Copies of this chain bind each other. A is one copy, B any other.
Amino acid sequence: MFSKNNWYVAASVDEVKDKPLGRTICNEKIVFFRKASGTIAAVEDFCPHRGAPLSLGFVEGENLVCGYHGLMMGGDGKPAAMPQQRVEQFPCNKAYPVAERFDYIWVWPGEPERANVDDIPTPLWADNPEWAVGTGMFHIDCDYRLMVDNLMDLTHENYVHRDSIGQEEIEQAPVKSYAEGDTVITSRLMENIIAPPFWQAAMRANGLDPEQAVDRWQICRFTLPSHIMIDVGVAVAGKGGFDAPAEYRAGGTVIDFLTPETETRMWYFWGMARHFKVDDEQLSEQIRVNQHKIFSEDLAMLEQQQQNLLRNPDRRLLKLNIDSGGVLSRRKIKQMLAREQKTVA
Protein backbone atom coordinates (compact mmCIF):
# COMPACT_ATOMS: atom_id res chain seq x y z
CA MET A 1 0.00 0.00 0.00
CA PHE A 2 2.15 2.79 -1.35
CA SER A 3 1.86 5.49 -3.96
CA LYS A 4 4.22 5.43 -6.94
CA ASN A 5 3.52 9.05 -7.74
CA ASN A 6 6.02 10.41 -5.28
CA TRP A 7 9.70 11.08 -4.93
CA TYR A 8 11.53 8.38 -3.01
CA VAL A 9 15.15 8.07 -2.04
CA ALA A 10 16.53 5.32 -4.27
CA ALA A 11 20.17 5.28 -3.25
CA SER A 12 22.87 7.30 -1.63
CA VAL A 13 25.01 9.29 -4.04
CA ASP A 14 27.94 7.00 -3.28
CA GLU A 15 26.09 3.94 -4.54
CA VAL A 16 26.02 5.14 -8.15
CA LYS A 17 29.46 6.09 -9.36
CA ASP A 18 30.96 4.45 -12.43
CA LYS A 19 28.88 1.27 -12.28
CA PRO A 20 25.12 0.92 -12.75
CA LEU A 21 22.94 -0.03 -9.78
CA GLY A 22 19.91 -2.32 -10.07
CA ARG A 23 17.25 -1.70 -7.39
CA THR A 24 13.53 -2.35 -7.08
CA ILE A 25 11.49 0.65 -5.88
CA CYS A 26 7.71 0.35 -5.40
CA ASN A 27 7.74 -2.91 -7.38
CA GLU A 28 9.52 -1.24 -10.31
CA LYS A 29 12.79 -2.96 -11.21
CA ILE A 30 15.02 -0.04 -12.10
CA VAL A 31 18.63 0.44 -13.14
CA PHE A 32 20.32 3.69 -12.13
CA PHE A 33 23.45 4.94 -13.84
CA ARG A 34 25.60 8.04 -13.94
CA LYS A 35 26.29 9.41 -17.41
CA ALA A 36 29.77 10.58 -18.35
CA SER A 37 28.41 14.12 -18.09
CA GLY A 38 27.67 13.41 -14.43
CA THR A 39 23.89 13.36 -14.37
CA ILE A 40 21.91 10.36 -13.18
CA ALA A 41 19.47 8.36 -15.30
CA ALA A 42 16.99 5.64 -14.32
CA VAL A 43 15.32 3.20 -16.72
CA GLU A 44 13.68 -0.22 -16.53
CA ASP A 45 16.27 -2.88 -15.71
CA PHE A 46 15.32 -4.95 -18.77
CA CYS A 47 17.07 -4.92 -22.13
CA PRO A 48 14.46 -4.73 -24.91
CA HIS A 49 16.67 -7.01 -27.01
CA ARG A 50 16.51 -10.27 -25.00
CA GLY A 51 15.42 -9.28 -21.49
CA ALA A 52 18.85 -9.26 -19.87
CA PRO A 53 19.24 -7.06 -16.79
CA LEU A 54 20.87 -3.80 -17.89
CA SER A 55 22.33 -3.49 -14.39
CA LEU A 56 24.92 -6.13 -15.38
CA GLY A 57 26.18 -3.77 -18.10
CA PHE A 58 28.47 -0.74 -18.11
CA VAL A 59 28.33 2.97 -18.79
CA GLU A 60 29.75 4.36 -22.01
CA GLY A 61 29.42 8.11 -22.49
CA GLU A 62 25.81 9.11 -21.94
CA ASN A 63 24.46 5.56 -22.37
CA LEU A 64 24.24 2.31 -20.50
CA VAL A 65 25.56 -0.62 -22.54
CA CYS A 66 23.85 -3.99 -22.08
CA GLY A 67 26.44 -6.47 -20.90
CA TYR A 68 24.95 -9.28 -22.97
CA HIS A 69 24.93 -8.12 -26.62
CA GLY A 70 25.84 -4.45 -26.48
CA LEU A 71 22.55 -2.59 -26.94
CA MET A 72 23.17 0.99 -25.81
CA MET A 73 20.30 2.33 -23.73
CA GLY A 74 19.83 6.07 -23.40
CA GLY A 75 18.84 7.70 -20.15
CA ASP A 76 15.51 8.52 -21.77
CA GLY A 77 14.70 4.82 -22.26
CA LYS A 78 15.32 4.95 -26.02
CA PRO A 79 17.85 2.49 -27.42
CA ALA A 80 20.61 4.76 -28.69
CA ALA A 81 22.66 2.28 -30.70
CA MET A 82 23.67 -1.34 -31.12
CA PRO A 83 26.57 -2.74 -33.09
CA GLN A 84 25.54 -3.37 -36.70
CA GLN A 85 21.86 -2.66 -35.94
CA ARG A 86 19.37 0.09 -36.69
CA VAL A 87 17.68 0.81 -33.40
CA GLU A 88 15.11 3.42 -34.47
CA GLN A 89 12.26 0.91 -34.41
CA PHE A 90 13.29 -0.79 -31.17
CA PRO A 91 10.75 -0.58 -28.37
CA CYS A 92 11.56 1.86 -25.59
CA ASN A 93 12.02 1.26 -21.91
CA LYS A 94 10.18 3.15 -19.24
CA ALA A 95 12.41 5.99 -18.06
CA TYR A 96 11.96 7.29 -14.55
CA PRO A 97 12.25 10.89 -13.40
CA VAL A 98 15.35 11.00 -11.27
CA ALA A 99 17.33 13.68 -9.50
CA GLU A 100 20.38 14.03 -7.34
CA ARG A 101 19.73 16.15 -4.28
CA PHE A 102 22.21 16.56 -1.42
CA ASP A 103 23.32 13.05 -0.35
CA TYR A 104 20.75 11.04 -2.29
CA ILE A 105 19.48 9.91 -5.65
CA TRP A 106 15.72 10.40 -5.82
CA VAL A 107 13.35 8.59 -8.15
CA TRP A 108 9.68 8.97 -9.13
CA PRO A 109 8.48 5.41 -9.88
CA GLY A 110 5.01 6.52 -11.10
CA GLU A 111 3.70 8.54 -14.03
CA PRO A 112 6.56 10.72 -15.28
CA GLU A 113 4.37 13.60 -16.41
CA ARG A 114 3.29 14.19 -12.82
CA ALA A 115 6.82 14.50 -11.46
CA ASN A 116 8.23 17.86 -10.47
CA VAL A 117 11.75 17.97 -9.07
CA ASP A 118 10.83 21.02 -7.04
CA ASP A 119 8.74 18.73 -4.85
CA ILE A 120 11.83 16.94 -3.55
CA PRO A 121 12.21 18.10 0.04
CA THR A 122 15.23 20.13 1.08
CA PRO A 123 15.84 19.73 4.80
CA LEU A 124 17.62 22.49 6.67
CA TRP A 125 20.75 20.38 7.04
CA ALA A 126 21.03 19.54 3.32
CA ASP A 127 24.26 20.83 1.79
CA ASN A 128 24.57 23.10 4.80
CA PRO A 129 28.11 23.60 6.16
CA GLU A 130 26.67 24.36 9.59
CA TRP A 131 25.55 20.76 9.88
CA ALA A 132 27.46 17.47 9.92
CA VAL A 133 25.62 14.50 8.41
CA GLY A 134 26.28 10.76 8.74
CA THR A 135 24.11 8.17 7.01
CA GLY A 136 23.54 4.46 6.41
CA MET A 137 21.05 2.09 4.82
CA PHE A 138 19.22 -1.14 5.72
CA HIS A 139 17.21 -3.50 3.54
CA ILE A 140 14.32 -4.73 5.72
CA ASP A 141 11.72 -7.44 5.15
CA CYS A 142 8.72 -5.41 6.25
CA ASP A 143 6.02 -3.09 4.98
CA TYR A 144 7.45 0.43 5.17
CA ARG A 145 4.42 1.44 7.25
CA LEU A 146 5.65 -0.70 10.13
CA MET A 147 8.71 1.54 10.15
CA VAL A 148 6.46 4.61 10.09
CA ASP A 149 4.76 3.24 13.21
CA ASN A 150 8.15 2.54 14.76
CA LEU A 151 9.50 6.05 14.24
CA MET A 152 6.31 7.86 15.19
CA ASP A 153 6.15 6.09 18.57
CA LEU A 154 9.46 6.43 20.35
CA THR A 155 8.31 4.68 23.52
CA HIS A 156 9.89 1.62 21.88
CA GLU A 157 13.28 3.13 22.70
CA ASN A 158 12.85 2.09 26.31
CA TYR A 159 12.59 -1.55 25.18
CA VAL A 160 14.40 -2.02 21.88
CA HIS A 161 17.19 0.45 22.64
CA ARG A 162 17.26 0.36 26.41
CA ASP A 163 21.05 0.52 26.67
CA SER A 164 21.60 3.58 24.49
CA ILE A 165 18.71 6.01 24.05
CA GLY A 166 15.95 4.39 26.09
CA GLN A 167 14.78 5.67 29.47
CA GLU A 168 11.56 5.37 31.41
CA GLU A 169 10.82 9.08 31.18
CA ILE A 170 9.95 8.65 27.48
CA GLU A 171 6.88 6.67 28.47
CA GLN A 172 6.05 8.94 31.35
CA ALA A 173 6.20 12.18 29.40
CA PRO A 174 2.90 13.12 27.77
CA VAL A 175 2.84 12.73 24.00
CA LYS A 176 1.33 15.32 21.70
CA SER A 177 0.29 14.24 18.20
CA TYR A 178 -1.40 16.33 15.55
CA ALA A 179 -1.46 17.06 11.86
CA GLU A 180 -0.55 20.32 10.18
CA GLY A 181 -1.62 20.05 6.56
CA ASP A 182 0.08 16.95 5.23
CA THR A 183 2.63 16.87 8.04
CA VAL A 184 2.08 14.81 11.17
CA ILE A 185 3.90 15.86 14.30
CA THR A 186 4.32 13.82 17.45
CA SER A 187 6.46 15.23 20.24
CA ARG A 188 7.63 14.67 23.78
CA LEU A 189 9.52 16.85 26.23
CA MET A 190 11.24 15.36 29.29
CA GLU A 191 12.33 17.94 31.80
CA ASN A 192 15.01 17.76 34.45
CA ILE A 193 16.11 14.21 33.79
CA ILE A 194 19.45 12.43 33.53
CA ALA A 195 20.44 11.82 29.89
CA PRO A 196 20.75 8.24 28.61
CA PRO A 197 24.17 6.93 27.49
CA PHE A 198 23.96 8.06 23.84
CA TRP A 199 23.22 11.64 24.86
CA GLN A 200 25.70 11.64 27.72
CA ALA A 201 28.35 10.81 25.14
CA ALA A 202 27.12 13.68 22.96
CA MET A 203 27.23 16.08 25.93
CA ARG A 204 30.76 14.99 26.72
CA ALA A 205 31.74 15.55 23.09
CA ASN A 206 30.24 19.02 23.24
CA GLY A 207 32.10 19.97 26.44
CA LEU A 208 29.15 19.55 28.81
CA ASP A 209 29.11 17.66 32.10
CA PRO A 210 27.10 14.53 31.26
CA GLU A 211 25.99 13.96 34.82
CA GLN A 212 23.98 17.14 35.16
CA ALA A 213 20.22 17.29 34.70
CA VAL A 214 18.89 18.05 31.24
CA ASP A 215 15.72 18.76 29.33
CA ARG A 216 15.32 16.22 26.48
CA TRP A 217 13.15 16.64 23.38
CA GLN A 218 11.88 14.34 20.61
CA ILE A 219 9.90 16.01 17.83
CA CYS A 220 8.96 13.61 15.02
CA ARG A 221 7.75 15.06 11.72
CA PHE A 222 6.18 12.75 9.15
CA THR A 223 5.71 14.08 5.63
CA LEU A 224 4.26 12.32 2.62
CA PRO A 225 4.96 9.86 1.22
CA SER A 226 7.18 8.42 3.97
CA HIS A 227 9.86 10.80 5.18
CA ILE A 228 10.37 11.26 8.89
CA MET A 229 12.70 13.83 10.42
CA ILE A 230 13.10 13.76 14.18
CA ASP A 231 14.55 16.64 16.15
CA VAL A 232 16.28 15.09 19.12
CA GLY A 233 18.60 16.38 21.78
CA VAL A 234 19.26 17.53 25.30
CA ALA A 235 20.05 20.89 26.91
CA VAL A 236 21.18 21.72 30.42
CA ALA A 237 17.98 21.77 32.49
CA GLY A 238 16.18 25.08 32.54
CA LYS A 239 18.24 26.67 29.78
CA GLY A 240 15.43 26.67 27.21
CA GLY A 241 15.36 23.07 25.98
CA PHE A 242 15.24 22.93 22.17
CA ASP A 243 15.72 26.72 22.12
CA ALA A 244 18.66 26.76 24.53
CA PRO A 245 21.83 28.60 23.44
CA ALA A 246 24.32 26.40 21.59
CA GLU A 247 26.75 26.20 24.52
CA TYR A 248 24.13 24.48 26.69
CA ARG A 249 22.80 21.90 24.25
CA ALA A 250 23.66 18.87 22.10
CA GLY A 251 21.16 17.93 19.46
CA GLY A 252 20.42 17.08 15.92
CA THR A 253 17.97 15.62 13.48
CA VAL A 254 17.44 11.92 12.92
CA ILE A 255 17.01 11.33 9.18
CA ASP A 256 14.58 8.62 8.03
CA PHE A 257 13.76 8.25 4.38
CA LEU A 258 11.60 5.13 3.96
CA THR A 259 11.32 3.64 0.48
CA PRO A 260 9.02 0.69 -0.35
CA GLU A 261 10.65 -2.07 -2.36
CA THR A 262 7.56 -4.29 -2.47
CA GLU A 263 4.46 -4.56 -0.28
CA THR A 264 6.51 -6.32 2.40
CA ARG A 265 10.07 -5.12 1.90
CA MET A 266 11.67 -1.72 2.23
CA TRP A 267 14.86 0.28 1.92
CA TYR A 268 15.64 2.31 5.01
CA PHE A 269 17.90 5.34 4.51
CA TRP A 270 18.79 6.59 7.94
CA GLY A 271 21.17 9.15 9.31
CA MET A 272 21.87 11.87 11.83
CA ALA A 273 22.46 15.56 11.17
CA ARG A 274 23.88 17.63 13.99
CA HIS A 275 24.87 21.23 14.34
CA PHE A 276 27.46 21.12 17.04
CA LYS A 277 31.16 20.28 16.57
CA VAL A 278 30.46 19.84 12.87
CA ASP A 279 34.15 19.61 12.00
CA ASP A 280 34.85 16.79 14.45
CA GLU A 281 35.09 13.86 12.04
CA GLN A 282 35.93 11.41 14.77
CA LEU A 283 32.69 12.37 16.52
CA SER A 284 30.78 11.99 13.26
CA GLU A 285 32.09 8.48 12.84
CA GLN A 286 31.36 7.59 16.47
CA ILE A 287 27.76 8.77 16.10
CA ARG A 288 27.34 6.90 12.81
CA VAL A 289 28.63 3.66 14.35
CA ASN A 290 26.40 4.03 17.41
CA GLN A 291 23.35 4.84 15.29
CA HIS A 292 24.05 1.82 13.07
CA LYS A 293 24.11 -0.38 16.16
CA ILE A 294 20.94 1.17 17.60
CA PHE A 295 18.93 1.04 14.38
CA SER A 296 19.96 -2.56 13.69
CA GLU A 297 18.24 -3.49 16.97
CA ASP A 298 14.88 -2.77 15.29
CA LEU A 299 15.37 -5.20 12.41
CA ALA A 300 14.46 -8.54 14.03
CA MET A 301 11.46 -6.93 15.72
CA LEU A 302 10.10 -5.40 12.51
CA GLU A 303 10.67 -8.49 10.38
CA GLN A 304 9.06 -10.85 12.89
CA GLN A 305 6.21 -8.39 13.44
CA GLN A 306 5.64 -8.48 9.66
CA GLN A 307 5.57 -12.30 9.70
CA ASN A 308 3.12 -12.25 12.60
CA LEU A 309 0.80 -9.85 10.76
CA LEU A 310 0.90 -11.96 7.58
CA ARG A 311 -0.06 -15.01 9.67
CA ASN A 312 -2.96 -13.13 11.27
CA PRO A 313 -4.46 -10.96 8.54
CA ASP A 314 -7.79 -10.50 10.30
CA ARG A 315 -6.54 -9.60 13.73
CA ARG A 316 -7.18 -5.94 14.66
CA LEU A 317 -4.35 -4.08 16.35
CA LEU A 318 -4.72 -1.53 19.13
CA LYS A 319 -4.51 2.19 18.52
CA LEU A 320 -3.39 3.74 21.79
CA ASN A 321 -2.44 7.34 22.48
CA ILE A 322 1.22 6.39 21.94
CA ASP A 323 0.27 5.09 18.51
CA SER A 324 -1.45 8.30 17.45
CA GLY A 325 1.57 9.53 15.48
CA GLY A 326 1.60 6.38 13.39
CA VAL A 327 -2.17 6.27 13.10
CA LEU A 328 -2.31 9.87 11.82
CA SER A 329 0.56 9.20 9.39
CA ARG A 330 -1.11 6.09 7.98
CA ARG A 331 -4.29 8.16 7.57
CA LYS A 332 -2.34 10.69 5.48
CA ILE A 333 -1.04 7.85 3.31
CA LYS A 334 -4.55 6.49 2.88
CA GLN A 335 -5.94 9.89 1.97
CA MET A 336 -3.17 10.39 -0.55
CA LEU A 337 -3.95 7.04 -2.18
CA ALA A 338 -7.67 7.88 -2.28
CA ARG A 339 -6.96 11.26 -3.91
CA GLU A 340 -4.75 9.54 -6.44
CA GLN A 341 -7.36 6.95 -7.30
CA LYS A 342 -9.89 9.74 -7.85
CA THR A 343 -7.46 11.51 -10.18
CA VAL A 344 -6.92 8.32 -12.15
CA ALA A 345 -10.66 7.61 -12.40
Binding site for B on A (CB under 8 A): 29, 45-46, 48-53, 56-57, 65-70, 82-85, 90-91, 149, 153, 155-156, 158-160, 168, 171-172, 300-301, 304-305, 307-309, 311-312, 315-318, 320-323
Contacts and interface: CB of A to CB of B under 8 A. Distances in A.
B67 A318 contact: no
Contacts of A52: 301, 304-305, 308
A149 B50 contact: yes
Nearest to A46: B308
A224 to B, nearest CB: 22
A171 B65 CA distance: 15
Contacts of A316: 91
A308 B53 contact: yes
Contacts of A320: 49, 82, 85
A51 B84 contact: no
A49 B149 CA distance: 12
Given A51-B315, A52-B304, 11 more contacts: A46-B308, A46-B315, A49-B318, A49-B320, A53-B301, A56-B300, A56-B304, A70-B155, A83-B172, A90-B318, A91-B316
B159 A45 contact: no
A52 B150 CA distance: 11
A84 B188 CA distance: 14
16 contacts: A50-B305, A50-B317, A50-B323, A51-B315, A52-B301, A52-B308, A53-B304, A56-B304, A65-B159, A68-B160, A69-B322, A70-B159, A83-B171, A84-B171, A85-B322, A91-B318
B84 A172 contact: yes
Contacts of A84: 171-172, 321-322
A67 B171 CA distance: 14
A45 B301 contact: no
A69 B311 contact: no
Contacts of A51: 305, 308-309, 312, 315, 317
